[in-house]
Amino acid sequence: MIIGAHNIISPLGFTSEANFEKVIRGEGGIAMQTGTDLSDTDFPASVINESELEVHLAEFLELKAYTKLEQLSILSLKQIIAGVDVTSPKTGFILSTTKGNIDLLKADNLNPNALLATTAQKIADYFGFASTPHVISNACISGLVAFIVAKRFIQSGIYDNVVILGVDVLSKFIVSGFQSFHSLSSETCKPFDANRDGLSLGEGAASVIIHGKQKTENTPYVELVNGAIANDANHISGPSRTGEGLFRAIKQTLRDGDKVDVISAHGTATPYNDDMESEAISRAGFSVVPVSGLKGYFGHTLGAAGIIESIISIMALERNVIIGTKGLKQQGVVAPIKVVKENEYAPTKGLLKLMSGFGGCNAAVYFKKHE
Partner 1 sequence: MVAMPLFTSKNMSRVIKELSIQSETVILDGKIIFSSEEKELGGFLKDLYKHTGINYGKFFKMDYLSKLGFLSSELLLKDVEEIKPETDEVALIFANTSSSLNTDIKYQKSMEDIPSPAVFVYTLPNIVIGEISIRNKFYGEHIFLVQAKYDKNILLKYADSLFETTATKYALVGWLELSPTENYNVQLMLCAKK
Task: Name the one range near partner 1 by CB under 8 A: 12-20, 51-59, 99-107, 277-285.
Answer: 99-107
Cβ distance to partner 1 smaller for residue 190 or 248: 248
Residue pair 266/356 in contact (Cβ under 8 Å)? The answer is yes
The correct pick among 22, 68, 134, 190 for binding partner 1 (CB under 8 A) is 134
Report the Cα 266 to chain-centroid distance in Å: 9
Task: Name the one range near partner 1 by CB under 8 A: 12-20, 150-158, 160-168, 200-208.
Answer: 150-158
The reply to whether 116 sits near partner 1 by the rule CB under 8 A is yes
Q: Where would I find the beta strands (DSSP E) of the chain?
A: 2-9, 31-33, 43-46, 91-96, 134-136, 161-168, 201-202, 204-211, 221-231, 262-264, 290-292, 321-322, 338-339, 344-345, 350-357, 361-370
Query: DSSP 3-state assignment of 351?
Result: strand
Task: Name the one range near partner 1 by CB under 8 A: 54-62, 71-79, 314-322, 358-366.
Answer: 358-366
The correct pick among 152, 215, 259, 329 for binding partner 1 (CB under 8 A) is 152
The reply to whether 289 sits near partner 1 by the rule CB under 8 A is no
Question: Which residues lie closer than 8 Å to 13 by C-beta, 6 or more apart?
Answer: 19, 21, 22
The correct pick among 22, 99, 266, 326 for binding partner 1 (CB under 8 A) is 99
The correct pick among 57, 72, 144, 145 for binding partner 1 (CB under 8 A) is 145
DSSP bridge partners of 368: 223, 350
Site for partner 1 in 178-197 (CB under 8 A): 179-181
Length of the chain: 371
The correct pick among 5, 31, 139, 289 for binding partner 1 (CB under 8 A) is 139
Query: DSSP 3-state assignment of 276?
Result: helix
Cβ distance to partner 1 smaller for residue 14 or 247: 247
Side-chain half-sphere of 149: how many Cα atoms within 13 Å?
Answer: 22
Cβ distance to partner 1 smaller for residue 31 or 105: 105
Distances (CA, A) of 197 to 165, 171, 278, 306, 323: 30, 22, 16, 22, 22
Give the interface with partner 1 as residue ranges (CB under 8 A): 98-100, 102, 105-106, 109-110, 114-118, 120-121, 132, 134-139, 145, 149, 152-153, 155-156, 158, 172-173, 176-177, 179-181, 228-237, 244-245, 248, 252, 357-361
